[in-house]
Amino acid sequence: MSISTFLLSLFAMFGLFQGTAPAYKNLTPAQFSSAVRERGAVLLDVRRPDEFAAGHLPGAVNIDVTSPDFARRVAALDKTKSTYVYCRSGARSATAASQLTKAGFGQVSNLLGGVLDWPEKLVR
């Protein structure tokens, strides 16, 4: 057995090549719609303010994930409540969901497909 084969076997044995699953949940629009109705849940729109103003989910709080003060602003949220995050397509919200879990938020869910795939009416 060559040294490279041995090392590859060793890495595989200890799971060093396995990707880590995100600490947050990815939800389909139907799952997300049902989940956000939970009492006390926080609904977080992480798009830019102009995108939020053009239409957002009812009851959403807008904190732009690309803003320099994103971490400070989300720190004011209750980390013990279920937090549901969305954006336009699901990419920025996945980034935000990852940041939230790293900041100690226990129950974070991301809307797959974002508002582009949202079947319900948005509010202004």
Closest CA to 36 of 17, 58, 21, 55: 58
Instruction: Write down the catalytic residue from 57, 60, 87, 97.
Output: 87
Q: In this predicted model, what pLDDT tens digit does every residue of 39-90 receive, in sequence order?
A: 999 999 999 999 999 999 999 999 999 999 999 999 999 999 999 999 999 9
How high is the pLDDT of residue 2? 54
Integer angstrom CA distances of residue 40 from 6, 35, 37? 52, 11, 9
More confident residue, 75 or 17: 75
pTM: 0.82
Q: Is 87 a catalytic residue?
A: yes
121, two tokens: 């009416």
Overall average pLDDT of the 14-20 stretch: 48
More confident residue, 66 or 5: 66
